[in-house]
Structure 1
Amino acid sequence: QLATVRGSAVPSPYGGKVRQIQIDLDPQAMQSKGISPDDVSTALKNQNLILSAGTEKIGTFEYNIKINDSPEAFQKLNDLPIKKINGAIIFIRDVAHVRDGFPPQINVVRNDGRRSVLMTILKNGATSTLDIIQGTKDIIPKLEETLPKSLHVDLVGDQSIFVKAALAGVVREGLIAIVLTSVMILLFLGSWRSTIIISLSIPLSLLSAVILLSISGNSLNVMTLGGLALAVGMLVDNATVVIENINYHLEQGKQVRVAIIDAAKQIIQPAFVSTLCFCIVFVPMFSLTGVPRYLFVPMAEAVVFGMLASFILSQTFVPMMANKFLRVHTAHHALPEEGHEAVHVKRSQLRLILHFFSTFQQQFERKFAAFREGYRSFLILVLTNPKKFTWGFTAFVLISCIGLYPMLGRNFFPTVDSGDMKIHVRAQVGTRIEETAKLFNLIEDDIRRHIPSDQLDTIVDNIGLSVSGINTSYSNTGTIGPQDGDILIHLNENHTSTSAYVKHLREFLPRDFPGVSFAFLPADITSQILNFGAPAPIDIQVNGPNKFENLAFIKKIEKQTREVPGIADVRLQQATNYPQFNIDIDRVQANNFGLTEADVTNSLVATLAGTSQVAPTFWLNPSNGVSYPIVIQMPQYRINSLADLENIPITAPNSKGLQVLGGLGSITRTQSDSVISHYNIKPAFDIYASTQGRDLGSVAKDIQTIIDQNKKDLPRGASVILRGQVPIMENSYMGLSLGLIASIVLIYFLIVINFESWLDPFVIITALPAALAGIVWILFTTYTTLSVPALTGAIMCMGVATANSILVVSFARERLQELKHPVQAALEAGVTRFRPVLMTAAAMVIGMIPMALGLGDGGEQNAPLGRAVIGGLLFATFATLLFVPAVFSLVHRNDRFDEVEQTWDDESHDPV
């Protein structure tokens, strides 16, 4: 029934006992009767059949013909004859016992110590994870109605909890960003009317983006919602610039409609260019491949759709609302009096609130005016010595980028704290599953001692190999035998850092259980996807034609790899010391007794492995119509010594009496491979490892050094390569780095086309290196490693950093045409655009703060992106207000004008 949930894939259950009709052989009885396991198997195959005999037409009717080819009660299988020996018929009941049973368990599952059956529901196709989980939850009550009362169904893992929490966190970040951005705009503009207009444009832009996402086939998920939350601070950019420019023209004494038209004309081209610059930086991201593409392309689409919608609204909705709400002057109009006393009291309270805000805003304006005057004085100082400042600032940017970059470290993606831990445990190779289960009891008790009960929710053990090969194909834990198992630990909702518990258990579990191997596997879905089915982010693989030389070489690599700082959970996946008995049959002697190798093998298989694979037979239960397999096998407790193995009876139809296995050959103890792996046909060995306390890039670099140093000893025809996340990370870094360069080039040529100039676009993009320096600095100061999200934020920052620079240079070009003096034009551009530049930059920074903090569930994934944008924007804003005007004055210093040169710092030209 679970498989009927739309979009779900349900592998076979883990653990439990599968019903089958078991025929337990009695070795003593078989020897006394002269019967071998192969004789019982042959008799069952010949005496138990499920076949239709056909029909017969007699008269006007057609009759079904049914023969007693299979007994209606499985107990009747005891009465099937095997063979006749010395005139006596031997029945199955004479040498075996038929029972309703199950095969020996090779997979044990426990939930908090209780024997259980584990069913995993996987996502298949484009159906929402939340829909699949909700559909499963809806079916469970119906299932419980049909189950025995003693059987309980518990949810031990629910991805929807994490997904819902992550979605709620993203929405919360977006709402906080909207509120903070609105408060900031109100503080800067001092007009609640302007603030309402800008604030209304935010949800309209988001709604437009959601509609476009739906049309383009995207869904609302953590990444698309993250893109929308990320865009909140940027969506106010166009609207803020338009409103601020309208207010600027209103202060010049113009009428509202005239001010709106003049402001729109003045701002539409630079606003359009800046919006295009912001959107065009995402074009290279569409060239990404693999997991990064599926994660970040939807995010890029969400941001681009939101920005395009915000530009259209800023040129249509915002002017329309400004015409309706804005006034020629900013003085507060008296509220009309009303006779009602309650209304009078409310209006008095409103006046008090407005008076408080007006006083606060006036104080802010005075301090801001003083701050702007300080900026003007400093800009004059910069423009007085532009070469010194530009060279000094350029040196600072280069030193920051070159000096700090190697210290950042590199990871593929940040680790997400999902509240889950998965530990792969490997006991001594060949340990029987019963002993492994006892070991897991002790390990589970030890874990409960190290993790407080109020922090722990459930512990699920999955020991041994699954019965189904389908489950093995879905598994990524590296289980290879009965000595292996996984422990899934789920923490409570208000738990402390999962990574802290991982570090603690990594230290104590090997100490408490010497000789047992422990490896912490990726528990969250993001890390599992990024590992591409491998149980660890680092995979050192050696493959070649000579298996033994490969093994010796990789053991040498393993020993050196364990010494790499920051590496953890180093283990060789393929075990080569599985205990084994070799049985060497003397074919000549066996032939003298009338036996062949096939006769010996068939008896051994029937005794040890059961006949389900080599001679499958079934019993049809007439009460429910279900066919159950019948398996002949000797109970494991009856063959638990080497002597029991040697005494297995062997016969054949033409044999000269019953023989035992020990009389037909020799048995020796040896070792074998527990699993055999191949890569491109060649035998392969893998070393799996993780990192702790150090970035993946640095650890991978040290491992690559070890590989390079040992390549001279590599066996002939063999190859050694570093796999796992590392090569995918390198490819992603290369793609994003090229995308970063491409975004700068695209921005430059786009501005060249719109400005019809080569120099001024160069002036605009001089702010971008400062943005890179800011990204490096903020990652360094917040102890954030470089990652794919951080590089995505860097690409995004290129568009954000360009927007303000375009506004400054565009205004400077206009003033240059009027004043004919580059220094004066640069000064006026900086001072005039000081407020809108700070407003838009502050809006973007404040909008990014909730994401940069990464406080919600799954917030760690996008936190580097938010931090990169904040750091880049802070430095780019500084460069826009100081470095860009200085470069503009230097670039245009040799321009020739017909007018007489003016005094550039004359107060008459002060635009403020």
Structure 2
Amino acid sequence: MPPLNEQTYIYMPVTPYGIGINMAKELTQKTDKILKENFPEVATVFGKAGRADTATDPAPLSMIETIITFKPQSEWRDGMTYEKLLNEMESTLQIKGLTNSWTYPIRGRIDMLLSGIRTPLGIKLYGDTSEELALYAQKIEQRLKAYGGTQSVFADKANSGYYLNIDLDDAKIAEYGINKNLILDTISNGFGGMTVATLYEGVKRYPISVRYEQDKRADLTSIGKIRIKTPYGYAPLATFAKLYYKEAPSILKAEKGKKVIFIYITPTQGTTSQAYKKEGAKLLADLKLPTGYYFEWAGESEYLESAMERLLFIVPITLFITFILIYLGLKSLKNALIVFFTLPFATVGGILYLDMLNFNFSIAVVVGFLSLIGVATETAIVMIIYLEEAVGALTKRTKENVKQAIFEGAVLRVRPKLMTVFAILGGLIPIMYIDGVGSEVMQRIAAPMIGGVVSSAVLTLIIIPAVYYISVRKE
């Protein structure tokens, strides 16, 4: 479907994995402030870093989501449009450490639910090791950045997680006569906290937890000095364990029995996912991946391919049913064939009008054409009926008599046909000038019909009588 302008943007920058909550909060507030102070069109800004308190939103701290709502367009700066506003925001929000992406709230949620990709387009890279996946994802990212149709592209930095490892020394633990659980419980309670009481405030309840102060868990040295109780007194944690930091994958994703890493892509305004995929495939054609590694496109292109596969069955079935209905209405195979095989001319006007508006092919456009075929079929059938009645009323059939009868039958259809054309145009043309939510889809459905009913008038009033005359003359 064409892009649906929800009149609300969602700004979704990402940071490297491993960012702290304080830094995530600072970046969220910074971007919120920039949006509020630099764009008078913005009504409200609401930013969120990390996940909500729900299992259905497993977002890391590195993922920031900011919902931007706008004032009525009558209060905007002169000449400002949604496209210009998005471009200005993108150029203003070039903050070190953030990689920007933009979408709409509803569309973004649907994309994430269906494919896991939160941008309009993406690539899923499959492989066996996290290290090689990160390496080749970076190569794909760099190649796509060179394409002019790319607004933003970034790969998951899945290998940039930092962990504190505590490797216990079994010999030392046995030497002091203690068990591992004592050390693990001390670490767990000291770092994560232990609930010791509950505060009741009316119907509300708040757990009260205690843990070590910040300075006692700030670095390896402080952590190593944490005291562990033993039968021989207290001993530092460093006695029983080796403490060190290690870089490792911060998030693990798997699909189809393989590890996977996502590359998120936001095409520029006016670049369709299909066109981007075509150009992107050329840029990645000579990228050699190790055995067992491969990538596939996801997001809008995935939906379009699925929809096109369905249309390969739906369109022929629709045309077949249309032909059967034409035959049942006319009770003549000859007349049914005349109507059916002249119908493509009705689509000429729709195609030309789409080209004038620079509308891309989409499912909504297909729906418009199918509706157009229905209207053109109806008027063509009525024209054939008028012509049959005019020719049937002749007492003597000569070339001139038949020609005159067909002319009179066609003339009788001028006024009804023009009334049909103007009624359809009067109902559909206003759609082309609205800009509310959903107008993009409605315009793609209306455009083929607006252009098509004009060429359909030519089909009904000129082509159908001419073809019918040729068929009658042969008889």
Structure 1 segments (4+ residues) deviating >6 Å: none
From the superposition, tell whether residues 620 and 440 of structure 1 become closer, same or farther in structure 2 (CA, over 3 Å): closer
- The within-5 A match list for 1:269-308 is none
CA contact 2:130–2:158 (8 Å) conserved in 1: no
CA RMSD in angstroms, aligned pairs only: 2.6
From the superposition, tell whether residues 890 and 651 of structure 1 become closer, same or farther in structure 2 (CA, over 3 Å): farther
2:467 and 2:112 map into 1 onto residues whose CA distance is: 47
Give how far 1:463 is off.
1.9
What letter corresponds to residue 214 of structure 2 in structure 1? Q
In structure 1, what is the equivalent of residue 47 of structure 2? 461
Give how far 1:628 is off.
4.4
- The structure whose RCO (Cα within 8 Å, separation 6+) is larger is 1
2:362 and 2:2 map into 1 onto residues whose CA distance is: 6
From the superposition, tell whether residues 739 and 842 of structure 1 become closer, same or farther in structure 2 (CA, over 3 Å): farther
CA contact 1:740–1:794 (8 Å) conserved in 2: no
CA contact 2:155–2:261 (8 Å) conserved in 1: yes
1:604 and 1:638 map into 2 onto residues whose CA distance is: 12
- The within-5 A match list for 1:347-366 is none
- Count of aligned pairs between the two proteins: 462
Give how far 1:811 is off.
1.0
In structure 2, what is the equivalent of residue 6 of structure 1? none
2:65 pairs with 486, 508, 526, which one?
486
1:527 and 1:666 map into 2 onto residues whose CA distance is: 45
What letter corresponds to residue 191 of structure 2 in structure 1? L
* Secondary structure at 2:439 match in 1: coil
In structure 2, what is the equivalent of residue 631 of structure 1? 209
- Render the CA deviation track for 1:260-306: whole Å, top value 9, x for unaligned: xxxxxxxxxxxxxxxxxxxxxxxxxxxxxxxxxxxxxxxxxxxxxxx
* Secondary structure at 2:12 match in 1: strand
- Render the CA deviation track for 1:45-102: whole Å, top value 9, x for unaligned: xxxxxxxxxxxxxxxxxxxxxxxxxxxxxxxxxxxxxxxxxxxxxxxxxxxxxxxxxx
CA contact 2:123–2:298 (8 Å) conserved in 1: yes
Q: Are residues 1:809 and 2:384 paired?
A: yes
In structure 2, what is the equivalent of residue 726 of structure 1? 301
- Render the CA deviation track for 1:541-582: whole Å, top value 9, x for unaligned: 123333333333333222222233322331223531122233
In structure 1, what is the equivalent of residue 441 of structure 2? 861
From the superposition, tell whether residues 577 and 527 of structure 1 become closer, same or farther in structure 2 (CA, over 3 Å): closer
Give how far 1:706 is off.
4.8
Q: Are residues 1:696 and 2:267 paired?
A: no
- The within-5 A match list for 1:842-861 is 842-861=422-441
2:143 pairs with 546, 557, 560, which one?
560
What letter corresponds to residue 504 of structure 1 in structure 2? E
From the superposition, tell whether residues 833 and 801 of structure 1 become closer, same or farther in structure 2 (CA, over 3 Å): same
What letter corresponds to residue 213 of structure 2 in structure 1? P
2:376 and 2:66 map into 1 onto residues whose CA distance is: 48
Give how far 1:630 is off.
4.2
What letter corresponds to residue 491 of structure 1 in structure 2? F
2:92 and 2:119 map into 1 onto residues whose CA distance is: 21
Q: Structure 2: give runs of 5+ residues left out of the alignment.
A: none
From the superposition, tell whether residues 526 and 434 of structure 1 become closer, same or farther in structure 2 (CA, over 3 Å): closer
What letter corresponds to residue 311 of structure 2 in structure 1? L
* Secondary structure at 2:183 match in 1: helix
What letter corresponds to residue 505 of structure 1 in structure 2? M
Q: Are residues 1:528 and 2:103 paired?
A: no
In structure 2, what is the equivalent of residue 336 of structure 1? none
1:824 pairs with 401, 404, 407, which one?
404
What letter corresponds to residue 528 of structure 1 in structure 2? R
* Secondary structure at 1:634 match in 2: coil
1:506 pairs with 78, 84, 90, which one?
90
* Secondary structure at 2:259 match in 1: strand
1:526 and 1:854 map into 2 onto residues whose CA distance is: 21
What letter corresponds to residue 838 of structure 1 in structure 2? L
* Secondary structure at 1:862 match in 2: helix
What letter corresponds to residue 64 of structure 2 in structure 1? G
From the superposition, tell whether residues 484 and 526 of structure 1 become closer, same or farther in structure 2 (CA, over 3 Å): closer
1:795 and 1:681 map into 2 onto residues whose CA distance is: 41
Q: Are residues 1:876 and 2:464 paired?
A: no
What letter corresponds to residue 758 of structure 1 in structure 2? L
1:606 pairs with 160, 169, 189, which one?
189
Compute the TM-score of the two structures, normalised by the length of structure 1.
0.48
In structure 2, what is the equivalent of residue 795 of structure 1? 370
- Render the CA deviation track for 1:160-204: whole Å, top value 9, x for unaligned: xxxxxxxxxxxxxxxxxxxxxxxxxxxxxxxxxxxxxxxxxxxxx
Q: Are residues 1:470 and 2:55 paired?
A: yes
- Render the CA deviation track for 1:227-266: whole Å, top value 9, x for unaligned: xxxxxxxxxxxxxxxxxxxxxxxxxxxxxxxxxxxxxxxx
1:527 and 1:548 map into 2 onto residues whose CA distance is: 29
What letter corresponds to residue 732 of structure 1 in structure 2? A
CA contact 1:594–1:656 (8 Å) conserved in 2: no
From the superposition, tell whether residues 509 and 581 of structure 1 become closer, same or farther in structure 2 (CA, over 3 Å): same
CA contact 2:158–2:261 (8 Å) conserved in 1: no
2:300 and 2:443 map into 1 onto residues whose CA distance is: 20
CA contact 1:564–1:699 (8 Å) conserved in 2: no
1:823 and 1:636 map into 2 onto residues whose CA distance is: 100
- The within-5 A match list for 1:250-649 is 412-416=1-5, 418-452=6-40, 455-466=41-52, 468-472=53-57, 479-481=59-61, 483-494=62-73, 495=76, 496-510=80-94, 513-523=95-105, 525-526=106-107, 528-529=109-110, 532-533=113-114, 534-611=117-194, 619=198, 621=200, 624=202, 628-636=206-214, 638-649=216-227
Structure of higher CA gyration radius = 1
2:244 and 2:135 map into 1 onto residues whose CA distance is: 25
From the superposition, tell whether residues 518 and 740 of structure 1 become closer, same or farther in structure 2 (CA, over 3 Å): same
1:685 and 1:471 map into 2 onto residues whose CA distance is: 20
CA contact 1:531–1:537 (8 Å) conserved in 2: no
Give how far 1:508 is off.
2.8
CA contact 1:571–1:687 (8 Å) conserved in 2: yes
In structure 2, what is the equivalent of residue 756 of structure 1? 331
CA contact 1:770–1:875 (8 Å) conserved in 2: yes
- Render the CA deviation track for 1:367-411: whole Å, top value 9, x for unaligned: xxxxxxxxxxxxxxxxxxxxxxxxxxxxxxxxxxxxxxxxxxxxx
1:529 and 1:585 map into 2 onto residues whose CA distance is: 46
CA contact 2:134–2:157 (8 Å) conserved in 1: no
Greater strand proportion: 2
- Render the CA deviation track for 1:713-756: whole Å, top value 9, x for unaligned: 33433442212221222222332354333322222121212322
Q: Structure 1: give runs of 5+ residues left out of the alignment.
A: 1-411, 474-478, 896-912
CA contact 2:32–2:46 (8 Å) conserved in 1: no
* Secondary structure at 2:55 match in 1: helix
Give how far 1:869 is off.
1.2
Q: Are residues 1:745 and 2:326 paired?
A: no
Identity %: 20
From the superposition, tell whether residues 704 and 772 of structure 1 become closer, same or farther in structure 2 (CA, over 3 Å): farther
CA contact 2:346–2:373 (8 Å) conserved in 1: yes
Q: Are residues 1:675 and 2:247 paired?
A: no
2:420 and 2:355 map into 1 onto residues whose CA distance is: 25
- Render the CA deviation track for 1:326-349: whole Å, top value 9, x for unaligned: xxxxxxxxxxxxxxxxxxxxxxxx
Compute the TM-score of the two structures, normalised by the length of structure 2.
0.89
1:526 and 1:720 map into 2 onto residues whose CA distance is: 24
- Render the CA deviation track for 1:675-726: whole Å, top value 9, x for unaligned: 211213432111111222311210122234455544xx33433442212221
